[in-house]
Amino acid sequence: MVDEINEVLRKAPLFEALDEEDTAALRSSVSEVRLGRGQTLFSEGDEGDRLYVILSGKVKLTRTAVDGRENLLGVLGPSEMFGELSLFDPRPRTASAVAVTDSVLAGLGHDDLRPFLSSRPHVSLQLLKALAARLRRTNDVMADLVFTDVPGRVAKALLELADKFGKEGEDGLHVHHDLTQEELAQLVGASRETVNKALAEFALRGWLRIEAKAVVLLDVERMRRRAR
């Protein structure tokens, strides 16, 4: 189990630039956090003092509008990191983090990380790279909200989930995203009805099969073309 944890941690942006000595130094400040499905780790607006790397499970990052509507910023899986914005910019949490499935996380206190990073600029650069990738994705998502129709956004979201959680099966690419239809709609930024219609249309064309909290992508190439 310890080896497995090390393996997952090593792929995280924070750890991938570390040599063994530094990994061991940082590992001593890591604490394990276990969340049950649906459990909130922190809420938007909370004070943030830790960064997290997912060891197993899935965590969603959400923002809530004043009228209660939710926007899902993303769903993160093993080796992905979150909670770093309040490390670099010590202000309240910019989103809530909620476990989509039972999850195990590695938590690292910002106070332990700051001195560690200030003496290791190459690790800070690695974190900046992860932040830059996130900004690029956010720009894409924003442009898609303006320029792309709902079926295109659904196709894109499913392909992104497939990249993270997809497993090749004999009949296609199995994507166990573990999201309800409502959550999928929140991820795409559209109503549940419109997203369901798009999914049903894709299924009718034979591009995918809908399963409970999962899809099987049967024609990835056409989905890619639809996502463009």
* Using rule CB under 6 A, residue 126 touches ligand CMP: no
Q: Which of 26, 83, 91, 29 is nearest to 54 (CA)?
A: 83
Nearer CB in complex with ligand CMP: 85/216: 85
Are 27 and 107 within 8 A, CB to CB?
A: no
* Using rule CB under 6 A, residue 134 touches ligand CMP: yes
Q: How far apart are CA 145 and CA 189, in angstroms?
A: 7
With tokens 């790279």, the residue in question is: 129
Cβ neighbors of 92 (< 8 A, separation 6 or more) are 44, 45, 46, 47, 48, 86
Q: Residue from 15, 18, 41, 48 that binds ligand CMP (CB under 6 A)?
A: 48
Q: How far apart are CA 151 and CA 170, in angstroms?
A: 26
Q: Closest separation between CB of residue 29 and ligand CMP, Å?
A: 17
* Using rule CB under 6 A, residue 40 touches ligand CMP: no
Q: Residues 85 to 104: which contact ligand CMP by CB under 6 A?
A: 85-86, 93-95
Nearer CB in complex with ligand CMP: 83/151: 83
Q: Closest separation between CB of residue 145 and ligand CMP, Å?
A: 12
Q: Closest separation between CB of residue 203 and ligand CMP, Å?
A: 29
* Using rule CB under 6 A, residue 82 touches ligand CMP: yes
Cα atoms in the Cβ-side hemisphere of radius 13 Å centred on 7: 5
**Amino acid symbol at 16:** E
* Using rule CB under 6 A, residue 194 touches ligand CMP: no
Nearer CB in complex with ligand CMP: 88/216: 88
* Using rule CB under 6 A, residue 138 touches ligand CMP: yes
Nearer CB in complex with ligand CMP: 72/217: 72
* Using rule CB under 6 A, residue 64 touches ligand CMP: no
**Which residues, in sequence order, are bridge partners of residue 31?**
107
Q: Closest separation between CB of residue 59 and ligand CMP, Å?
A: 9
Q: Residues 142 to 171: which contact ligand CMP by CB under 6 A?
A: none
Binding footprint of ligand CMP on the chain (CB under 6 A): 48, 61, 73-74, 82-86, 93-95, 134, 138
